[in-house]
Structure 1
């Protein structure tokens, strides 16, 4: 049956055009706001739960209730974290997904991978550098034990599970490595050198040549003493007085500090 529109007047033409535009607009809005959401979701949009820190068995039950599934996309070992614990997920928590969507998970491994123990001893590595290297290869800092040795803060031995460990030995990632470190003071005793009367330069040579260390340098006015010479030291020299290798000797120098270099404070005068 044919439908004839009476467009003999201008008013009828405008009305007919408005009807056509209205029909097209209704179809357009219905497609985007009714049909499209219905056809894509069918009312089955699901909020993704937060699976982080959950065990894989619990994850399976949680996703099954929501008609979702999972795929383990990556595994890594984290010391102290139980095996098969979720570390990250995609899509992220609270995302909206369709029924049956796979959630991609990164979980912890059950067994730690083996890595080679680095050499922290023969390279004369300092403690700070050694700890940084341990962390970079996936090992952890264990007990740090100081022993008398002139090499201050130098790593002298490396231990694992109560035994010395050689470089290149395979150990599980995340293992704790114990370090034996020098405290800067040797266990060898020697007589305290007598520095009274010698110049500051000579005193420095004697101290370093004895494997000792320069301490504080103070200046004091001492009548009759040659400027620039040692008039007092700590520890003081004496028969039978001993000092360990690596220990410090403080010096008092006659006169005033070099005004050009500003070297050394002056001891306050005693009344």
Structure 2
């Protein structure tokens, strides 16, 4: 055929132009027709929210959406069902390509074991803060007669003392035995009327009692300023160590 003859330079140029057009057509067809058809170029999927789901139901859920997952971390979360998805990356709402892996962290099936912290000799409030920082739960707070008011006397699990450093699983309930500021010993209420205020305070402290409210009132006939003219509770009954005594002082 005359078209394919190369008798002149024009014929050679014409053939090169045709070859260039064919090559360009192949390249453009590969990138703009073949690749989009085989790789779904430009198609995206909105990442669903999977936190809170259980790992057992996650695979089918993501398969239906042409997505996959990969567990890259696990941690303990108090009150969370084991193997629950805690975090995900990419976040919900982001657009990704089909087949993209979503990286997740899940709740551990068993809580980790740690060393029991020391709670005794400190206040109940501090003990509760320590328990929370160790991912331990606060159980019952039981008040018992003791002069160490609001101080933790014992730390217990299931009614048994647990020593600092003993192994304990995160999430375990720890009970606190706390002093109520009063002792067990009972004795007759002392008589403070007509006693100077400073001596009355010294007597109360010596018997393990505390001064409650102090009221000042004008001295009446026969009363000496600075002395106790009334007390509450009054003599005749018994009082327990650590309890309060209110005083009325003449002035």
Whole-angstrom distance in 2 between the partners of 1:211 and 1:162: 30
Q: Does 1:77 align with 2:76?
A: yes
**CA–CA distance in structure 1, aligned partners of residues 79 and 134 of structure 2:** 17
| Residue 117 (1) aligns with residue 106 (2) | no
Structure 1 partner of 2:217: 220
SS of residue paired to 1:159: strand
Match of 2:19 in 1: none
Partner deviation per Cα, 1:91-147 (whole Å, 9 max, x = no partner): 0011100111110111100011001111212xx101001111111112110011111
Q: Secondary structure at the match of 2:56?
A: helix
Give the Cα–Cα distance (whole angstroms) in 1 for the partners of residues 133 and 119 of structure 2: 13
Stretches of 4+ moved more than 4 A in 1?
Answer: 38-41
- Which of these residues, 132, 135, 139, is aligned with residue 136 of structure 2? 139
1:154 to 133, 137, 151: 151
Q: Which of 184, 189, 211 lines up with 2:186 in the alignment?
A: 189
CA contact (8 A) 2:78 2:135 kept: no
Q: Is residue 245 from structure 1 mapped to residue 241 from structure 2 by the alignment?
A: yes
SS at match of 2:175: strand
1:268 is matched with none
Partner residue, 1:60: 59
SS in structure 2 opposite 1:128? helix
Segment drifting more, 93-102 vs 216-225: 216-225
Q: Which runs of 5+ in 2 are unaligned?
A: 1-9, 11-31
- Compute the TM-score of the two structures, normalised by the length of structure 2: 0.82
Residues 253, 63 of structure 1: alpha-carbon distance in 2 compared, 3 angstrom cutoff: same
Deviation at 1:43, TM superposition (A): 4.1
What is the distance in 1 between the residues matched to 2:51 and 2:171?
A: 21
**Residue equivalent to 1:201:** 198
| Superposed counterparts of 1:79-98, under 5 Å | 79-98=78-97
Stretch deviating more after TM superposition (73-82 or 173-182): 73-82
TM-score (norm 1): 0.76
**Structure 1 vs Structure 2 CA RMSD:** 2.0
Matches of 1:142 and 1:46, distance apart in 2 = 47
The structural deviation recorded for 1:230 is 0.4
2:123 aligns with 126
Shift of 1:41: 6.0
Query: SS of the counterpart of 2:187?
Result: strand
- The residue that corresponds to 2:28 in the other structure is none
